[in-house]
Structure 1
Amino acid sequence: MVRFECDYLEGAPLPVLEAIAKANLEQNPGYGFDSHSDHARDLIRQACQAPEAGVYFLVGGTQANLTVIASCLKNYQGVIAPQTSHIFNHETGAIEATGHKILSVETADGKLTAQQVRDVCQAYWKETHALFFVQPGMVYISQTTEVGTMYSRAEIAAIHDVCKEYGMKLFVDGARLGYALAAPDSDMTLADLPQICDVFTVGGTKQGALFGEAVVIMDEDLSKEFPYHIKQRGGLLAKGWLLGVQYEALFTDDLYMKSARHAADLAVKVYKGLKEAGYSFLYEHQTNQQLPIVTEEQLKTISQSYSVDHFADLPDGRIAIRICTSWATKEKDVDALLAFMKTLK
């Protein structure tokens, strides 16, 4: 069985494992107060061209999301997010468990627009009894989105402008940030993010780390208080140097983006190959989460040899499946999958 259902099926690239093995018997201070973590923070700041940014390592994506959101909001505020977002659908109410409501917005393609954010804010502030409603206090988006679509630099900057107008923070969940930046239609680099949002994550779990996420904060006041939130919310790793070592390796010799480009190249191959074979897609894009549409019978046949994600049931009875590429995907497996799926058309 060859698996394509998600992008965290394997462990880590060899340089990451070698870095952990090399540091294994070192004695390092705990909780991220070690030289590896300090160096990794500096490497991320350099890659982002943000020397003053606060960089913090957390154990996983849900911990990062709930900790960032809880740290930004007052207790009567909520977070605006797409209805398809990870925090709304895939985190078991973690945000609500912190005491904050998700103000979900239905979108056409998984992407919030600046106008939708403005509409939510205007509706709230025009409300005669606004006191009785959850106040919008920040915006959450992800790059790429949960359906694989991707924001342009201008789209994120426009949302950020609305956030500044209404005194809100913009949080970009970058669990798949490298895969977005490496996609053929991307017009962004890591250095753009500090200019167009207040806080973002540089994903590790899905992009070559064994585990862990890096949170990058541009707001000085938020950055000062953030370590307390990490500890209180269960995101702090006692052996924090394990996170530092991994990010140190990922941001040495451009490994992070080299790995992302590998996944991006194979995603384009999946998209073009299935398109040529006559498959349609739930959303048209060329990022690492491809969502071709198949029949129930086709899915049964595919599932005998390949593991794919049953992503969505369509009104006509067909099914959108998710095929993911990652830093570890083998081109020969992609070629075999495409050849196999062509026989089903």
Structure 2
Amino acid sequence: MISFKNDYSEGAHPRILEALLKSNLIQEQGYGEDSFCLGASELLRERLGNKDLTIHYLTGGTQANLVAISAFLRPHEAAIAAQTGHIFVHETGAIEATGHKVLTSESKDGKLTPAQIQEVLTAHTDEHMVKPKLVYISNTTEVGTVYSKSELQALSQFCREKNLYLFMDGARLGSALCSEGNDLDLADLPKLVDAFYIGGTKNGALLGEALVLCNEALKPDFRYHMKQKGALLAKGRVIGLQFLELFRDNLYFDLAIHANTMAYKLRDELKEAGVKFLAESSSNQVFPIFSDAIVEQLKVNYHFEIWGKVGTQTAIRLVTSWATREEAVDSFMADLKKIL
């Protein structure tokens, strides 16, 4: 079986495994205060062009989202997300479990606009309702779309005018920054959002996300929140070392470029075969639409997500990764053409 189900089916890039092995017997401090975490944070601040950023390492996206959002919000405050947002659909109510409601807005392309956020603000008028305080976006979005610099600037300006925090889920940030037509740089993000994270789990690491706190108001006592929610790892070195390896040269972006390239090959060949799509993705996620009969035949040799019904047909999600082989894409297309 060949899997296009997600971008974390494989383990880790060999360079990361080699670095972990070489450092295995070095004795270090615990809880993210080791030389690897400190070195990675210094390197990331340099890449981000801001020496005042605070960086914390967490195991995965859901943990990063729930720890960050619950730390940023007071008990009566809520987050705003697109209805397709990961915190609303795919995190088992993790944000709500911390006592914070997720308010949503319809979005065909997975992105939020100031007008959509304003609609939510207008609907929440007084202390008899939760108070919207944080805007959650992801880049890439859940349907593979990517925010442009102008879109993010507009959101940033609006959130500052309305005294809202802007938080970016960057689980697939590498894919977004390396996507077709992207005009955002990594160093733009600290200027535009209050906090974001750089996803490692879905871009070649064994596990781990680097959470970057940009707004000074969000920094105090954050490690207390991490500890209370089981996110302050005794062996934090395991995550710090991986980010040190990913960013000491261009490896992080090279891996994202490969994942995107495989997705574009898949997307372009599907288009040539006359296949329609749920969304115009420019990242490493592709959402073709097939009849149920074709989906069942493809399941024989391939793993993928069933995304949802589109009329009488079904949209599936195909995800490529840093380790996807071109032969896997060729195999999928050859089998599909036989079915078609």
Indicate the TM-score class for this superposition, using the shorter chain for normalisation: over 0.9
Aligned letter for 1:198? D
> Matches of residues 305-344 of structure 1 in structure 2 within 5 Å?
305-316=301-312, 318-344=313-339
Distance 1:326 1:284 in 2: 19
| Alignment check: 8 A CA contact 2:146 2:282 kept | no
Match of 1:117 in 2: 117
> Matches of residues 63-74 of structure 1 in structure 2 within 5 Å?
63-74=63-74
| Alignment check: 8 A CA contact 1:179 1:263 kept | yes
| Alignment check: 8 A CA contact 2:143 2:281 kept | no
**SS class of match (2:92):** coil
Encode CA deviations 1:47-94: one digit per residue, 9 max, x unaligned.
Answer: 221221111001111110011101111111100001111100111111
Match of 2:94 in 1: 94
Candidates 200, 205, 223, aligned match of 1:204:
200
Distance 1:241 1:203 in 2: 16
Distance 1:233 1:81 in 2: 23
| Alignment check: 8 A CA contact 1:157 1:197 kept | no
Distance 1:174 1:82 in 2: 15
> Matches of residues 172-187 of structure 1 in structure 2 within 5 Å?
172-187=168-183
| Alignment check: 8 A CA contact 1:63 1:234 kept | no
Match of 1:76 in 2: 76
- Pick which of 221-230 and 302-311 moved more: 221-230
Aligned letter for 2:276? S
Aligned letter for 1:151? Y
Are residue 141 (structure 1) and residue 137 (structure 2) matched? yes
Cα offset, 1:227, TM superposition: 1.2
Aligned letter for 1:319? T
Structure 1 segments (4+ residues) deviating >4 Å: none
Match of 1:22 in 2: 22
Encode CA deviations 1:81-117: one digit per residue, 9 max, x unaligned.
Answer: 0111110011111100100000111112111111111
**SS class of match (2:339):** coil
**SS class of match (2:43):** helix
**SS class of match (1:208):** coil
Are residue 61 (structure 1) and residue 61 (structure 2) matched? yes
> Matches of residues 231-270 of structure 1 in structure 2 within 5 Å?
231-270=227-266
**SS class of match (2:281):** coil
Aligned letter for 1:148? G
Distance 1:50 1:146 in 2: 29
| Alignment check: 8 A CA contact 2:62 2:94 kept | yes
Aligned letter for 2:106? E
- Pick which of 328-337 and 91-100 moved more: 328-337
Distance 1:32 1:284 in 2: 39
Match of 1:106 in 2: 106
Q: CA RMSD in A?
A: 1.0
TM-score by length of 1: 0.96
Unaligned runs of 5+ in 2: none
Distance 1:73 1:340 in 2: 49
**SS class of match (1:343):** helix
Match of 1:229 in 2: 225
Unaligned runs of 5+ in 1: none
Cα offset, 1:342, TM superposition: 2.2
Candidates 217, 228, 243, aligned match of 2:213:
217
| Alignment check: 8 A CA contact 1:174 1:201 kept | yes
**SS class of match (2:133):** strand
Cα offset, 1:314, TM superposition: 2.0
Encode CA deviations 1:193-236: one digit per residue, 9 max, x unaligned.
Answer: 11111100100111111111110011123112211111111111
**SS class of match (2:55):** strand
| Alignment check: 8 A CA contact 1:109 1:147 kept | yes
Cα offset, 1:254, TM superposition: 0.9
Distance 1:336 1:188 in 2: 34
**SS class of match (2:79):** strand
- Pick which of 133-142 and 303-312 moved more: 303-312
Cα offset, 1:290, TM superposition: 0.2
Distance 1:16 1:311 in 2: 32
Match of 1:48 in 2: 48
Distance 1:310 1:123 in 2: 34
Match of 2:163 in 1: 167
Cα offset, 1:300, TM superposition: 1.2
Distance 1:41 1:261 in 2: 23
Cα offset, 1:242, TM superposition: 0.6
Are residue 38 (structure 1) and residue 34 (structure 2) matched? no
- Pick which of 216-225 and 270-279 moved more: 216-225
Aligned letter for 2:263? A
Cα offset, 1:24, TM superposition: 0.6
Encode CA deviations 1:114-163: one digit per residue, 9 max, x unaligned.
Answer: 11112222333xx3xx1101000110000001111111111111111111
| Alignment check: 8 A CA contact 1:57 1:243 kept | yes
Match of 1:292 in 2: 288
| Alignment check: 8 A CA contact 1:59 1:236 kept | no
